[in-house]
Amino acid sequence: MVFFSGGVNKISDVNKTALYAILMALVVPLGAYFIVKGKSEQAISMPRHYIWDTVTTKVSKGKNVQDTVWHKLSNFQFTNQEGKQVTLDSLHGKIIIADFFFTHCPTICPGLTKNMKRLAESIHNGQRVGDKTNKQVHFISFSIDPERDSAERLKYWADKYQINPENWWLLTGDRQSIYNMAIQEMKIGITDGEGIDTNFIHTDHFVLIDSNHYIRGFYHGLDSADLAKLSEDLVLLTMEKDPHEKSFFAGKLELIAIVFLMTILGVGLLLYFIRKK
């Protein structure tokens, strides 16, 4: 009789242990789910968009919601320092850092090129050996003096600063198209100097353009604090997901969590009744 009583106590202890294990199996995943969900909903402060085309209003869940249509850079076709015709569309999926310069510039252009060079050299693909060129980021320098900045002249500038044509283009071409890219597309100011060096007025800004060709930032290319901010924003953009590309788990996290918990509960109850018998 004493032996039987001890057996009951042992079974009871086993059942309690199983019950505690079931509760832990339920609480821990559930708690972890809500923690991860909460963290994921705390949006990272991504670089904001600049330059919008239109703002539309639509009704969503009974409320008026404004939707901004951001300006997407138009395609272009210019000649790079290698004498090759290149287009913006060929860089789809790549983050771009652009600026404007001219090779006869007596003031800011050498400094801009040097800082762009430092930025380009600081970015690599993570490989310890071999080709370390980062294929996700591309640099573009538009010449605002295309008459004198021929492909040969740009090649001279590229060789002087050891610019890699694979990830950095120096571009020349139709004057009107280049000025339209600066003034109309990127909304930055340049003034035609009509061939006189000191009359060329152009921005010292580096322009950050995302992989879908939306402008995401303007930074003074001669300011160390702005360059540091550009580096930070560039890293953030490399982690940004394409808004048009839905994840497999998009909208399914809640369902997956419920199914997971129900499975654990079912298995736990099954074990509980087996041990009870």
89 with 205, same domain? yes
In a domain, 135, yes or no: yes
95 with 213, same domain? yes
**Amino acid in position 161:** Y
167 with 258, same domain? no
Rounded to two decimals, the pTM is 0.71
147 with 260, same domain? no
In a domain, 58, yes or no: no
Residue 110 CB partners (closer than 8 Å, separation 6+): none
**Burial bucket for residue 85 (CB in 10 Å: 0-12, 13-18, 19+):** exposed
10 with 92, same domain? no
How confident is the model at residue 155, as a pLDDT? 98
In a domain, 138, yes or no: yes
235 with 252, same domain? no
89 with 217, same domain? yes
96 with 173, same domain? yes
How confident is the model at residue 63, as a pLDDT? 82
The Cα 51–Cα 187 span in angstroms is: 8
How confident is the model at residue 58, as a pLDDT? 80
In a domain, 52, yes or no: no
Nearest to 175 by CA among 148, 204, 154: 148
How confident is the model at residue 124, as a pLDDT? 75
Low-confidence ranges of the chain (pLDDT < 50): 1-6, 8, 11, 40-42, 197-198, 247-249
Segments forming the whole domain that contains residue 259: 2-44+248-276
Q: Render pLDDT for 203-246 as a digit per residue (tens, 0 to 9).
A: 899 999 999 999 999 999 999 999 999 999 999 999 887 655 55
What's the CATH number where 149 sits? 3.40.30.10
Provide the number of structural domains found in the chain: 2
Half-sphere exposure of 205 (CA within 13 A, CB side): 18
Region of 149 please: left (phi>0), alpha (psi -120 to 50) or beta.
beta
Position of tokens 């006869």?
104
How confident is the model at residue 59, as a pLDDT? 78
36 with 83, same domain? no
123 with 184, same domain? yes
How confident is the model at residue 62, as a pLDDT? 77
The Cα 14–Cα 4 span in angstroms is: 15
How confident is the model at residue 91, as a pLDDT? 96
Q: What is the CA radius of gyration of the chain?
A: 30
80 with 173, same domain? yes
128 with 13, same domain? no
